[in-house]
Chain A
Amino acid sequence: MEQIITRFVAALRESGIRVSPGESLDAVQALGLCGIKERRASRELLRLTLVKNVNDIPTFNEVFNRYFNRFQFVDPQEDLPALMDAVINEMEGEFTYLNELKDDHDDEPGPLIKIDSEINPEDLAELKSLTEIDPDDNDGTELMVQMKGYREKAKKPPRPTRRYTQNPLTIELNKGNSYGSRITFTVEEQAAMQDVVSKMMLRLRKDMRRMKNNQNRGKLHVKRTIQKNYRHDMVPFHVVMRRKRREKPRLVVLCDVSFSVSHASRFMLLLLHTLHNQLLDVRSFIYNRDLAEITELLANMPVNDLMEAIDTGDIVDLDENSSFGEVFLKFKTKHLENLRGRPAFIILGDGRNNYGEANDWVLDEIREKSRYMLWLTPEERETWSRGDCLMDIYGSYCDKVEVVKTVDDLSLVVEDLLRDIYADQAHPIDRKLLREAKAAETYSSEDYYRRGTNADTKPTFDPDGRSHW
């Protein structure tokens, strides 16, 4: 039985479910306690002990069916996992059945075992070299080949990083512009995003905690201190300070969803909403020629459904050419009035206006209402002034323009942004510390090429002295 479980666990790991040795021990113990009765009960038992995440349940079911379905041509009354066990034991020349199984299957091992007992271990050793398996071949030998395969795999240690080695956005972008292809996120991609975000959270947390601790700095809250120390005979063991109420930083995101930048914008949306509620208050808009708010949708709809709705043009029409000028005008008339609390403003787009009206004065108004303005573009700097690209004009209104090409770029940029926002609200002493820390950081030349921008670059076009890209 242990062997079956081990191999099954290996199969699960192959499919990307993380199962620890402790969990497989649990599974064996559980099977021992419950005994093996029927397929469904055993499946439930294994699922309880081996799977620890809702998203993994469909994968588990699939693997379970694939792994245990070879026995379906056996009489369904038979005890399937037990047969399985028996087969494997036989295959290796071990006739030690588990005691509890022996009672049921002593005399009549079932048709499958009969087939298998005609094959001796030497034959099996040769079969091991088979790598090609005919999927239509449905007899016992195939099963063994399959089993062998699993066994080899079981020997390898689990590689939890396997799912994350390839960065989804990098793959997508490197593919070239595959226009019109639907984008939905696989579970792995969503998990990878979760991973990126949690790493980011870890890095940010250190700074955040220090700032949070310093929230307590301030004047003594006399009333609360007395209340708190009443039980200590008014000896002030616990000092309560007045603290400033601090709101979550607000963020407004405008994402271009036209084909030219679709991949980047999708990941941006996913990233921000993975972050949402943890650190930020995000309002998201998507635009092509039209503009639509999707904050509610992102919060309530499954991500993939939403992406499909965007792709099919249900939310904004994708067939038209994108026009930044029009979008800015629409944003001004519809939404600019109710931007509250000086949000940070992120625009993602390539700035290609299709030779329409630039309407860059709107950006000036948005800038007045926002704390910080950031433009993310997937294009390299050299192309910013070519063709219909208005990046140079729009860029001059922003605090920063960054080139992002991969999820990692994106997460770095957003991380910096969050840090800036928090630093902005921080206590003056903290702000000074942070500034010093930032000044001490040296930018290597590699950073320059990787990030596309460099903080030390002197501004070339800078009407207000505000931009530094």
Chain B
Amino acid sequence: MVSMITQQAVTDFLKAGGYIADDAIATAVFLAIRMEKPILIEGPPGVGKTGLAKALSSALDFPLERLQCYEGIDEGKALYDWEYGKQLLYTQLLRTQLDNYLSVSADLREAVERLSAEESLFFSENFLVQRPVLRSFMSQKRSLLLIDEIDRSDDEFEALLLECLSDFQVSIPELGVIEAKRKPLVILTSNGTRMISDALRRRCLYLYIGYPELDREVAIVRSKFPDICENLAQQMVEFLNKVRELNLRKPPSVSEALDWAQVLSIMKVNSLTAEVVAGTVGVIAKHQSDLQKVTELASQELG
């Protein structure tokens, strides 16, 4: 099914999954699926970077493997780990068998040799804990690997990902190279708090998602909250666009727009007035200094 996909189909199935994509997003997704390359998505917080991955996963029916990055994340948390506890437990339980097995040997040297011949037993996939990256590589079905907020991780971790992302393989010293059974669709997101290295950028398609155009944002609001009438949605989005130009500490983004739409639909508001904005300003402005600016704008714009 995936190989037959076209660009238009991408837009359509994303729309069916509740995600309104523009041309750039649809093209990026289409290319990522066809070229089997990761997408690096940058943009301000709350414009739907993670949302895109979730929508894709449900629309394409790819199981989602999510890796949330944080400072100090390492391969033990991202790729794989050995399950020491299980290994110890097994050696404990198998003690009698081991005793029997080793008792045949004449001296210590031979015993060690016999034991080391069976070493691969203890470093097998049985004792391997799969972390998100490896799990998505080992998945029988093509999966979607979301590496969220890569800018929070360290440079070392970025370097670690290079092999995984370009060749879709993980090198485990004890087992050798494990290649992906089905190459997952990889999505990396970044809020741009730190510059991502060029090496990583080069391996990805680069998609910048900014604040959506007016029409698309209205469509997004309407698709999530159909009971908001066209008029109100239009009014809301126009107001939010003006708010974004105010130079706030935290400009409201799409997720704020959706929250606001939800609030307004609960309050059964039909049209936007200065009082309504003043009452719900906490939904769109998240800093004390911003609250005042937004209320002022509302009284100017909406009377």
Chain A residues at the B interface, C-beta cutoff of 8 Å: 18, 20, 22-23, 26, 29-30, 33-34, 40-41, 44-45, 47-49, 51-54, 57, 194, 198, 231-233, 237, 277, 300-301
Please list 18 pairs of residues, one from A and one from B, whose beta carbons are closer than 8 Å in the complex, sorted by A's number. Answer: A26-B35, A30-B31, A33-B30, A33-B34, A34-B27, A34-B31, A44-B24, A45-B31, A47-B24, A48-B31, A48-B206, A52-B40, A52-B204, A53-B206, A194-B195, A198-B195, A232-B84, A233-B88
Q: Is the CB of A23 within 8 A of B207?
A: no
CA distance A301 to B30 in the complex (A): 36
Q: Is the CB of B202 within 8 A of A22?
A: yes
DSSP class of A's interface residues: helix, strand, loop or mixed? helix
Total contacts A-B at CB 8 Å = 62
Chain B residues within an 8 Å CB radius of A53: 201, 206
B7 interface hit (Cβ, 8 Å): yes
Min distance, Cβ B39 to any Cβ of chain A, angstroms: 8
CA distance A54 to B193 in the complex (A): 13
Q: Is the CB of A48 within 8 A of B23?
A: no
Chain B residues within an 8 Å CB radius of A51: 206
Which residue, B37, B198, B206, has most C-beta atoms of chain A within 10 A? B206
CA distance A460 to B205 in the complex (A): 60
B42 interface hit (Cβ, 8 Å): yes
CA distance A23 to B204 in the complex (A): 9
Q: Is the CB of B28 within 8 A of A48?
A: yes
Neighbour of A20 across the interface among B7, B202, B205, CB < 8 A:
B202
Neighbour of A41 across the interface among B23, B37, B192, B208, CB < 8 A:
B23
Neighbour of A34 across the interface among B7, B24, B42, B204, CB < 8 A:
B7
Neighbour of A23 across the interface among B34, B88, B202, B208, CB < 8 A:
B202
Chain A residues within an 8 Å CB radius of B84: 231-232, 237
Neighbour of B207 across the interface among A22, A48, A237, CB < 8 A:
A48
Chain A residues within an 8 Å CB radius of B24: 44, 47-48
Q: Is the CB of A41 within 8 A of B27?
A: yes
Chain B residues within an 8 Å CB radius of A23: 202
* Given contact pairs A30-B35, A33-B35, A41-B23, A52 touches B198 in the complex (Cβ within 8 A): yes
Q: Is the CB of A49 within 8 A of B7?
A: no
In B118-133, the 8 Å CB interface with A consists of none
CA distance A445 to B141 in the complex (A): 67
Q: Is the CB of A49 within 8 A of B205?
A: yes
Chain A residues within an 8 Å CB radius of B34: 33
Neighbour of A40 across the interface among B23, B192, B206, B247, CB < 8 A:
B23
Q: Which residue of B lies closest to A299 (CB)?
A: B249
CA distance A57 to B206 in the complex (A): 11
B303 interface hit (Cβ, 8 Å): no
Which residue, B31, B42, B193, has most C-beta atoms of chain A within 10 A? B31
CA distance A233 to B195 in the complex (A): 43
* Given contact pairs A33-B34, A54-B208, A44 touches B23 in the complex (Cβ within 8 A): yes
CA distance A464 to B119 in the complex (A): 68
In B231-271, the 8 Å CB interface with A consists of 247, 249
B279 interface hit (Cβ, 8 Å): no
Q: Which residue of A lies closest to B26 (CB)?
A: A44
* Given contact pairs A57-B208, A237-B84, A52 touches B201 in the complex (Cβ within 8 A): yes
Shortest beta-carbon contacts, A-B, top 6: A52-B201, A231-B85, A52-B206, A44-B24, A33-B34, A48-B205
CA distance A301 to B202 in the complex (A): 29
* Given contact pairs A20-B202, A233-B88, A26 touches B23 in the complex (Cβ within 8 A): no
